[in-house]
């Protein structure tokens, strides 16, 4: 079955506007503007079972439904392309090959939500993706598919690019809203939720690139078609898995939701690198728990991965082999989160460097007996933070202590890293 996101891709170059159109691009838009009401589009997305591809996996149609219909003033849509989670690079690959699915998806989302003006928030470093989008937006405008009176209708929609200057917290939806307004990108208190009071205090929906890029195919082919793409009834659609670490072919691949972990590694990625043995992986970007060899046949869908004690997250699969020290790997992850903490709330600002210090000591053979207990306390208490950055940071540490406590203890007992 043809999967929607990468089907227009050309090797080593971006698809052209004409190629995209010839292959059925903008058919979803035409269908929506010639007979579907905004509610119909929203219902199709709700029925499709599409879940947010940025990491949280919240049902997209439900998120859209939280926007009050009767509030006066403008409402906003923001596409979150602040992809800075280690191990996650799918949005970049998608946009470097095809900006049009996102442009069409955003136009459809604006139509469904009654939004006149939407933004694409792009991280620093994704200049190629930004250039593709800027060109694509102009092409779509010229063709009457965006801008004033789309396809001769009464609907006008603008898309603007916002290029950021690099900071992981900008991916958090309320921090992103502050960033877009030109304020310091600290997260905002919730409630009120952005759906009610977001950008410039107006109702706002923030969706990830991959989420919105799925919308054209859902509208064009119907909710049932999208659901049917998944390999198991728990899932819906396809997913971009971006694999890195100890595999032969590190690649971003589009696979049906429900593809097993083993099929991703052995199938799409050609197996483990240099004949190494699989030790563990992080399945959904830096803020998820480890999966182990026993999860080799685990179907990768949101609910099943959650039941296995981790999260599908962004689909950033980072693979470790038996030569990798998972204490050092976790230390690397914590170092990332500690560096990227915005410093707004104390537990995150102070707690993450402390965790980093303890893990550094353990890795360097200066761990103490009660370190594991202290780390466990942090896993517990760093959940009580202003936003999800610190709880996200605690996920791999939680996984380390849950699944690889012996490896941590060995460091402490032997007073050195057993893998060095």
Partner 1 sequence: MIPETLKTSLEARIASAITAREAAVDVMKELQAHYGWLTDEAVAEAAALLGLSPLQVEELATFYEMIYRRPVGKKVIHVCDSISCWCADCDKIIQHLKDKLGVGLGGTTADGMFTLLPCCCMGMCGDSPAMSVGGVPYGRLTPELVDEILEAERHKV
Binding-site size, partner 1 (CB under 8 A) = 55
Nearest to 284, CA basis, from 262, 302, 257, 265: 302
* Binder of partner 1 out of 21, 141, 250, 366 (CB under 8 A): 250
**Six-digit token string for 299:** 């179907």
What is the helix (H) or strand (E) element at residue 31, kind and residue range?
A: helix 27-33
Between CA 339 and CA 343 the distance in angstroms is 10
Is residue 10 involved in binding partner 1 (CB under 8 A)?
no
21 binds partner 1 (CB under 8 A): no
289 token code pair: 């728990």
Q: Which of 87, 235, 237, 256 binds partner 1 (CB under 8 A)?
A: 87
Indicate the DSSP class of residue 187: P
139 binds partner 1 (CB under 8 A): no
As measured in angstroms, the least distance from the Cβ of 124 to partner 1 is: 5
Nearer to partner 1 among residue 44 and residue 110 (C-beta): 110
Note whether 316 binds partner 1 by CB under 8 A.
yes
**Which run of H or E residues covers position 280?**
strand 278-282
Residues 117/204, Cβ–Cβ less than 8 Å? no
- Closest C-alpha to 131, from 101, 95, 105, 107: 95
Site for partner 1 in 226-245 (CB under 8 A): 242-245
Rg of the chain over all Cα atoms, to the nearest angstrom: 22
Per CB under 8 A, does 280 bind partner 1? no
Q: Nearest-CA neighbor of 198 among 220, 179, 212?
A: 179
Q: Which stretch binds partner 1 (CB under 8 A): 2-10, 102-110, 311-319, 412-420?
A: 311-319
CA angle 267, 210, 286 (to 5 degrees): 70
d(CA 92, CA 76): 23
Give 110's strand partners.
none
Q: Which of 10, 69, 184, 190 binds partner 1 (CB under 8 A)?
A: 184
Among 8, 53, 75, 92, binds partner 1 (CB under 8 A): 92
Contact indicator for 96, 65 with CB cutoff of 8 Å? no
Q: Nearer to partner 1 by C-beta: 49 or 315? A: 315
Binding of partner 1 at residue 134 (CB under 8 A)? no
The label of the residue with tokens 């102009």 reads: 138
- C-beta closer to partner 1: residue 217 or 393: 393
Q: Is 287 within 8 Å of 313 (Cβ atoms)?
A: yes
Binding segment for partner 1 (CB under 8 A), chosen from 28-36, 134-142, 257-265, 335-343, is 335-343
Q: Is 75 in the site for partner 1 (CB under 8 A)?
A: no
CA angle (241, 239, 109) in 5-degree steps: 130
Which stretch, 188-196, 259-267, 320-328, 403-411, contacts partner 1 (CB under 8 A)? 320-328
Q: Does 281 bind partner 1 (CB under 8 A)?
A: no
Site residues for partner 1, 340-359, by CB under 8 A, read 340, 342
Rounded to the nearest whole angstrom, what is the least distance from the CB of residue 182 to partner 1 in the complex? 3
Task: Give contact residues for partner 1 (rule: CB under 8 A).
Answer: 83-89, 91-93, 117, 123-127, 162-168, 179-185, 200, 242-246, 250-252, 282, 286, 316, 318-320, 324, 328-329, 332-333, 335-336, 339-340, 342
């Amino acid at each position: 079955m043809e999967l929607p996101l990468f089907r227009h891709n050309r090797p080593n170059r971006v698809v052209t506007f004409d190629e995209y159109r010839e292959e059925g691009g903008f058919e979803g838009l035409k269908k929506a503007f010639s007979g579907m009401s905004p509610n119909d589009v929203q219902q199709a997305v709700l029925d499709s079972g599409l879940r947010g591809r940025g990491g949280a996996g919240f049902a997209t149609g439900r998120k859209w439904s939280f926007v009050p219909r009767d509030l006066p003033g403008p409402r906003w849509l923001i596409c979150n392309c602040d992809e800075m989670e280690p191990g996650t690079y799918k949005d970049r690959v998608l946009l470097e090959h095809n900006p049009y699915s996102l442009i069409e998806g955003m136009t459809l989302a604006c139509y469904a939500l009654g939004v006149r003006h939407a933004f694409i928030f792009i991280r620093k470093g994704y200049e190629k993706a930004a250039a593709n989008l800027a060109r694509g937006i102009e092409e779509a405008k010229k063709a009457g598919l965006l801008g004033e009176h789309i396809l001769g209708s009464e609907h006008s929609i603008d898309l603007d690019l916002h290029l950021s200057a690099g900071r992981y917290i900008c991916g958090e939806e309320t921090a992103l809203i502050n960033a877009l307004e030109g304020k310091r990108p600290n997260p905002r208190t919730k409630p009120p939720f952005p759906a009610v009071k977001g950008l410039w205090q107006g109702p706002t929906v923030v969706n990830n690139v991959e989420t919105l890029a799925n919308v054209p195919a859902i509208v064009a082919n119907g909710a049932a078609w999208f659901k049917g793409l998944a390999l198991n009834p728990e899932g819906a659609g396809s997913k971009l898995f971006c694999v890195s670490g100890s595999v032969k072919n590190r690649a971003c691949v589009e696979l049906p939701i429900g593809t097993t972990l083993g099929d991703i590694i052995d199938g799409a990625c050609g197996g483990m690198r240099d004949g190494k043995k699989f030790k563990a992986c992080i399945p959904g970007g830096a803020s998820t728990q480890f999966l182990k060899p026993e999860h080799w046949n685990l179907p990768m869908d949101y609910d099943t991965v959650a039941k296995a004690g981790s999260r599908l997250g962004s689909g950033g699969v980072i693979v470790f082999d038996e030569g990798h020290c998972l204490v050092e790997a976790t230390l690397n992850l914590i170092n990332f989160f500690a560096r990227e903490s915005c410093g707004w709330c104390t537990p995150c600002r102070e707690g993450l460097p402390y965790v980093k210090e303890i893990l550094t000591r353990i890795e360097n053979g200066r761990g103490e007996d009660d370190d594991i207990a202290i780390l466990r306390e942090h896993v517990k208490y760093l959940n009580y933070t202003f936003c999800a950055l610190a709880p996200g940071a605690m996920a791999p540490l939680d996984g380390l202590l849950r699944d690889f406590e012996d490896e941590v203890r060995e460091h402490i007992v032997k007073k050195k890293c057993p893998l060095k």
